[in-house]
Amino acid sequence: AWIIKAGEANLAKAQFFLGKKFLGNDEKEQGVYWLHRAAANGNNEARYFLVRSYMRNRIRPPPEHANKK
């Protein structure tokens, strides 16, 4: 679909949309993946959404983002 191509082309708004869409379909791993990509590409909505979701324990960070001791 065009939205996935837009996300793969690093369009942050498309990545944010995909992240929320996947989370809404209970596909958390995919949702978190796209939200992290959007945040890394400067989407402040994605950053806020991730932080708020982590604080409310709605999602967990992927293993590569977990704190290492």
- C-alpha distance from residue 27 to each of 20, 23, 67, 68, 69 (Å): 10, 5, 23, 25, 29
pLDDT tens for the 69 residues of the chain, in order: 899 999 999 999 999 999 999 999 999 999 999 999 999 999 999 999 999 998 888 887 766 654 444
pTM, two decimal places: 0.84
